[in-house]
Amino acid sequence: MQRRTFLKLIGSAGLGAALPAATAKAAGNKAFTGYPDAMGVLFDATKCIGCRKCEAACNEVNELPKPEKPFDDLSVMNAKRRTDAKTYTVVNKFVPVDGRPPVFAKTQCNHCQEPACASACFVKAFTKTPEGAVVYDASVCVGCRYCMVACPFSVPAYEYDEPLTPRVMKCTMCHPRILEGKLPGCVEICPKQALLFGKRSDLIKTAWERIGNEPGRYLPHVYGEKEMGGTNWLYISGAPFQQIGMREDLGNTPAPELTSGALAAVPVVVGLWPVLLTGIYAVSKRKDRVAKEEREAAVAEAVTAAKEKAAAKLADELKKAEAAGKRLADAEARKAVEAYKQELEEKAKAAAAAADESGDESADEKKE
């Protein structure tokens, strides 16, 4: 009965715990290559002039709070900035080669094909839409900020100053606008079309065409084509990405794959541990029982031996006493013999009790 309850409990726990491994998509030999018609944006660093119009447009269409310095103040680009709770996108200025013109790089959510934030979120607040955008649902967010830890591009920001309803803030690729058939705000405003909107697959083709047509102008690398399993925001540049504030050491492994091994271990633990532990318990209990039985047998043997010995002695003594009794007065003799017999019996009892006590340590199990 106990064991059955136990197995049932473990079974249900195992089912619950096995779920994540089933959805992690890591096992099996299928690679997730993204939604086929997902849209994206190609950023061409050789075209960007650093006018911050995209920042202004982003601020406007997302109805974000006005920044301290206006968007036409280009001096803010002298310091490196990152996205924050009031800014979905920033353009940073870099001077990869001293004396050459600066290169600008735009930062915003890269909309990974297999987003780390979505994989990390324990309330499914992030969704990778078929349109390509990774969108966030504040209505379930607990505010654990694991998405921020997980994001390899350090994009999501948090409303730390919001006491009651803090949200994670990040670019949405203007998902609502895309659904309306409009371009993302930043893309629409860009005077140089340094941001090109389109199907991710088309953008990759365009990117490689540009690289192929003008090899001296671009480095042969489309950032985001493979990084972290691929992103829907893509970049091409003439300067090494490392020199324009983008990490080139992220690898090509999609984030969910990094944790799939650990998640896959869950059913193993849930399935094997109880069996193993019950086994250990049974073995240790059996060991105790065997030891106890052996002890009990030994004690019983000792007791019997003692009893036999006592009985033999008693008989012997009795014989002697009887012989003596013949010489003694009847009443006197009987009394003395009785007393002696009692004494011997007590001795035997004590010996048996001592033996019992020594073998009694495992008494606990009896109660289990």
Partner 1 sequence: MSHSTQTNKGGMSPLMVVGGIFLLLGLWLTFQRFYGGLGAVTNLDDNNPWGIWIGFDLLCGVALAAGGYTTSAACYIFGMKRFHGAVRPAILTAFLGYALVVFALHYDVGRPWRLPYPIFVSPGTTSLLFEVGLCVFLYLTVLFIEYSPVALEWLGQKRLRNAVHKLTLVLTIFGVVLSTLHQSSLGALFLIAPSKLHPLWYSSYLPLFFFVSSMFAGMSMVIFEGTISHKNFHDKMDEDHLSASENVVLGFAKASCVVMCGYLALKLFGLAMDDNWHYLGTGWGAWFLFELLGFVALPALLYGIGAREKNVKLIRWTAALSVLGIVLNRFNISLVAFNYHLPASERYFPSWQEIGISIFVVTVGVFAFRFIVTRMPIFYEHPDYKESHH
Partner 2 sequence: MEPFMRKKTVALLCSVFIAAVAVAGLVGPEAAGGSQGAAPAGTGRSDLILIDALSALAPLEEAKVAFLHDKHTEALAKGKDWAQKGCLTCHPQEKDGTMGLAFKKPVGADKAAARDVFHDGCISCHKSMAAAGEKTGPTGAACRDCHKKDPGVADARQDVVVDRNLHYRHVKAYEKDDKKCGVCHHRWDEKAGKTVPAVKETEVPGACAYCHLDKPVVQKGVKPEIIRSGRQAAHGECVSCHYKRATEPGSKIESPYTCGGCHDAASQAKAAEKSKKAAAEAGDAVRMKRGQPDAALVAGSVPFKAGAKNLPIGVVPFNHKAHEGKVATCQACHHGSLDSCSASCHTVAGSKKGGWVTLEQAFHKRDAERSCVGCHAKAQQAPGCVGCHGIMNNGKSLEGKSACAPCHKAVDGPLPAGIEEAPARQAMAAALLKARTAPAALTDDDIPEKVTIKVISDKYEPSEFPHRKIVRAMLERIKDDPMASAFHNGQYTVCASCHHNSPAAKYPPSCASCHAAADTGAKAGRPALKAAYHGQCMGCHTKMGIEGKVYSSAPGAKAVPANTQCEGCHKVRAGQAVKQ
What residues line the site for partner 2 (CB under 8 A)? Answer: 42, 47, 49-52, 56-57, 59-60, 70-72, 74, 101, 183, 187-188, 190-193, 196-199, 202-203, 205-206, 213-217
CB 199, min distance to partner 1, A: 27
Nearest to 233 by CA among 190, 173, 189, 284: 173
CB 113, min distance to partner 2, A: 17
Out of partner 2, partner 1, none, what residue 191 binds, judged by CB under 5 to 8 A for its kind, is: partner 2
Out of partner 1, partner 2, none, what residue 164 binds, judged by CB under 5 to 8 A for its kind, is: partner 1
Out of partner 2, partner 1, none, what residue 149 binds, judged by CB under 5 to 8 A for its kind, is: partner 1
357: left (phi over 0), alpha (psi -120 to 50) or beta: alpha
In angstroms, the CA 46 to CA 352 distance is 98
Out of partner 2, partner 1, none, what residue 245 binds, judged by CB under 5 to 8 A for its kind, is: none
Name which of 79 and 331 has its Cβ closer to partner 2. 79
Name which of 107 and 232 has its Cβ closer to partner 1. 107
CB 39, min distance to partner 2, A: 8
Geometric angle at alpha carbon 38, from 35 and 42, rounded to 5°: 130
Nearest to 322 by CA among 331, 333, 310, 312: 333
Name which of 69 and 319 has its Cβ closer to partner 2. 69
In angstroms, the CA 145 to CA 168 distance is 8
Helix axes 255-327, 330-358, angle to 10 degrees: 170
Out of partner 1, partner 2, none, what residue 50 binds, judged by CB under 5 to 8 A for its kind, is: partner 2
CB 365, min distance to partner 1, A: 9
CB 97, min distance to partner 2, A: 14
CB 157, min distance to partner 1, A: 4
Out of partner 1, partner 2, none, what residue 238 binds, judged by CB under 5 to 8 A for its kind, is: none
CB 264, min distance to partner 1, A: 11
Name which of 179 and 277 has its Cβ closer to partner 1. 277
Name which of 144 and 336 has its Cβ closer to partner 1. 144
